[in-house]
A and B are shown apart, each in its own frame.
Chain A
Amino acid sequence: MAARWSQYKRTWYFLRRNTLAMVGLGIIVLFAAAFVYGLSYPASSSVPTQYCATNGEWPPTASNPCYDAPNIICTYPQGTVPPTANCYMTPRDNPNFIAPTATLQGGLGQFPMGSLVYPAADLSSSDPLFYNTYTMLVKGTVNSIGISVLIVAAGAGAGLLVGALSGYYGGWVDEVVMRITDIFLSIPAILLVIAVIIVGKSSGLVTFNTTLVLIGVAFVIVWWPFYARIVRSQSLVVREQRYVEAARASGASNGRIIMRHIVPNSVYPVFVQMSLDVGTIPLLLAAITFIGFVLFPYPLIPEWGSVAAAGASVLTPVFTQCGVKGAVCAIPWWQILFPGLAIFFFSLSVNFLADGLRDALDPRLRR
């Protein structure tokens, strides 16, 4: 244990001398602070000022469903008749979704982060909550970072175990496991994740506030083969080492050899891959929520990508409709810019750190 501790200390020493990695670490600390802030942020921050009913009828019925009347808006005065059913207007179907205050006049306008209200799904609540853009971003920080860390941890854990077993035993076990990873790796990751999510949702396995869990599970199903590959190639080398031979000679069981020798010694490249993936998964997650913006119809999942998708979905019609230069042109640019920047800086800093980590762990790359 002491030897391993000193190894960590040496890695930290090399890492500390890498400026970019330290910049990355600094930004990550800021994100961690935002994460804590988001955790303690009040769950529901605003009361909806407008929501949809169906042709003026409430509640919606089977013959008069909410979603089939996309252009009818019922504006309730603030404080009256709160919605009782899970039925809201999707921004992309709602021409008045861009609130009148949200204007971009002559290039720069107000900054109405609080003007748009989304019904949002939250793990902690079985009823939709109401978030404005700012709250969506704050809660999105918790969800996006939290889910990517969990996905990477679970995926790496599963991959580590499978990869170590496959590399250690070799033979037909190895052959079977590697063919299975081949199969998973030849399906484009995003598509498989979306397919798993949709099948999960249509089978009625999930309710709206557990969609996030489903997304996490889908990602882990897709993600473990990458780690299994890395660990397997590493443990192929490790199992030929003298200390493994010595352990076997002294009568250690296969399980003990794997847990005490193979896994700890194959884990370093996994660290690097994990740190890279923590930066990649928010990007993929955003792409998925962006593609299937209406895949998770309503309530929205508070996640960076879904805010951006809500903004971008009105971008095109607004752009095409709004008049000539100088006219009032309501583009919710902050909805695209801020989640985009959050993803960008998070991914960037994680990559800086991962790059520094790789340099610090690989003696050949040290300068």
Chain B
Amino acid sequence: MRMWVYVVRRAVLVIPVVIGVMTILFVLISSLPEVERTCSFYHPSGRTSPCTTTIPCPQDPSKLCPNPVYQSAVDALGLNKPIFVQWAIYIGNALSFQWGYVAQGSALGTGETGSGLPSLAGQSVATVLSEFLPYTIELSIVSLLIILVVSIPLGNLSAVYRNRPVDQASRVMSFSGYALPAFLLGSFILAGMTFALGGPAAPSAICGGSSTVFLDFFGSWPQPPCVPLYGTANIGPVGFPNWLTIGYISSPTGFPTVDAAIHGQYYLALDTLLRMVLPAIVIAYTTIAGLLRFVRNSMLEVMNQDFIRTARAKGLPESKVIKKHAGRNSLNVTITVLGLTFAGFITGFPVVEIVFNLWGVGRIYAYSVVGGVKDWDFGVLFGTTLLFTYLVVAANIIVDILYAYLDPRVRLG
């Protein structure tokens, strides 16, 4: 099969999957109460009075949002039309990035206490997500670099020295990393570093803007995230990543490090990168398990091949055999797995982002499901799910094509 035929075929196969995902989401959205569908997230100025989990929303939608809004929502979503028309409308909206708006009464809509996040109410979900995605991508790249640097050499070593101490150590590492909850590792690394390097800061120093050891590792932007005492002080959007639209530094690319560098603020760029190191270590440690095992197995497989025996027989030094012959060949498969890991990465790390107070898309997602005082944000919830599905599907295609390019045998199938 020619390469382009394979690419086209692979791309066409994606269509039913994407439509299926949308159908599942449509079923879920359809089972929401009508009030939520119409008033909550359809319209930018959606609901007028927030309802919470303790005060249920009124059954009558017109009590929750002004009647014109409700009527226009019903018309636009086709709620008075047959269900398959609604389904088609939903798919149209999903494909054209009309994922709704941040609801007025939700945590994101009101500005969550203590987070420094200003209200995002009425903003389009797709816009909000696109603003927070770049940070997650940067974090993913840093984590992936750490994983690459550790897993390939360690996996190769543990294959070469099978069942020797190196192999056992890497096995312990992968087992423990797999079983360790990210919140445990994250909290204790953060706390440990803070205490080891001088302790947390006095309250006054934090909002005054001076840097402390704790804040060196904490938060997604050099500006100290100012966490006010609950309900006492309203300090405003300090700590809100200012590469966002409301910020005063223009952001040509949206990527914080790149933007800082473009503006010539190399210290900011460095600082942003440094703050990613600890979370990236946590992410790398908790996800490296599968990859290590994979690199080891593919290396073991290659080491049993005939051409390795030939290389040894013709008298090449062992280091050369491993580096040039075995290592290169086992890399083929490893790259594809790395690609899939990266796809899983971009889908955000809500737990790590919560622990380290980073403003990536995972944290936005986490805030969309904050209930209790606030209301759930269905627009962001389903929008994030759609976004992540697009990302995973796209990454799958890219990895498959890459693999077919590297290993032509795949294309024959």
Interface residues of A (CB under 8 A from B): 60, 62, 65-68, 70-71, 87, 90, 93, 95, 107, 179-180, 182-184, 186-188, 190-192, 194-196, 198-199, 202-204, 279, 283, 286-287, 290-298, 305, 308-309, 312, 315-317, 319-326, 329, 331, 333, 336-337, 340-341, 343-348, 351-352
> Could you tell me the distance between the alpha carbons of A293 and B372 in the complex, rounded to whole angstroms?
9
Contacts of A312 in B (CB 8 A): 183, 187, 354-355
Across-interface contacts of A191 in B (CB, < 8 A): 347, 365, 384-385, 388
B400 on interface, CB distance cutoff 8 Å: no
Are A351's CB and B178's CB within 8 A? yes
A321 to B225, CA, bound (A): 12
> In the complex the two chains form, is A202's CB within 8 Å of B36's CB?
yes
| A287 touching B351, Cβ below 8 Å | yes
The dominant DSSP class at the A interface is helix
Sample (17) of A-B pairs whose CB atoms are under 8 Å apart: A65-B54, A68-B52, A179-B20, A182-B20, A183-B17, A186-B392, A187-B388, A199-B28, A286-B183, A287-B181, A292-B366, A295-B370, A295-B371, A319-B194, A320-B203, A321-B203, A341-B184
Interface status of B381 (Cβ within 8 A of chain A): yes
**Contact, CB under 8 Å: B199 / A294:** no
Q: Is the CB of B202 within 8 A of A71?
A: no
Residues of B213-265 at the interface with A, using a CB-CB cut-off of 8 Å, are 214, 218, 225, 227, 229-231
B contacts with A, residue count (CB < 8 A): 73
Q: Contact check, B184 vs A291: say whether CB atoms are below 8 A apart.
A: no
Contact of B206 among A93, A315, A320 (CB under 8 A): A320
Q: How far is the CB of A90 from chain B (nearest CB, A)?
A: 5
Query: What 1/0 flags go to B168-198 for Cβ under 8 Å of A?
Result: 0000000110111111100110110011001
Interface contact B396-A343, CB-CB below 8 Å = no
Query: Is the beta-carbon distance between A198 and B183 smaller than 8 angstroms?
Result: no
B interface with A by C-beta (< 8 Å): 16-17, 20-21, 23-25, 28-29, 31-33, 36, 52-55, 113-114, 175-176, 178-184, 187-188, 190-191, 194-195, 198-203, 206, 214, 218, 225, 227, 229-231, 344, 347, 350-351, 354-355, 357, 365-366, 369-373, 376, 378, 381-382, 384-385, 388-389, 392-393, 396
Known: A66-B54, A319-B214. A329 touches B200 (CB 8 A): yes
Which B residues touch A292, using CB under 8 A? 366, 369-371
CB neighbours (8 Å) of B388 from chain A are: 187-188, 191
Residue from B181, B199, B369 within 8 A of A344 (CB atoms):
B181
Known: A283-B181, A329-B200. A194 touches B381 (CB 8 A): yes
Instruction: Report the minimum CB–CB distance from A251 to chain B (whole Å).
Output: 37
Is A291's CB under 8 angstroms from B230's CB? Answer: no
* Nearest CB of chain B from residue A108's CB, rounded to whole Å: 11
Question: Does A183 contact B199, Cβ atoms closer than 8 Å?
Answer: no
Residues of B within 8 A of A182 (CB): 16-17, 20
**Residues in chain B near residue A317, CB distance under 8 A:** 114, 227, 229-230
Q: How far is the CA of A123 from the CA of B191 in the complex (A)?
A: 35
Q: Are A336 and B187 in contact (CB under 8 A)?
A: yes
Known A65-B54, A319-B191; judge A90-B181 contact (CB<8 A): no
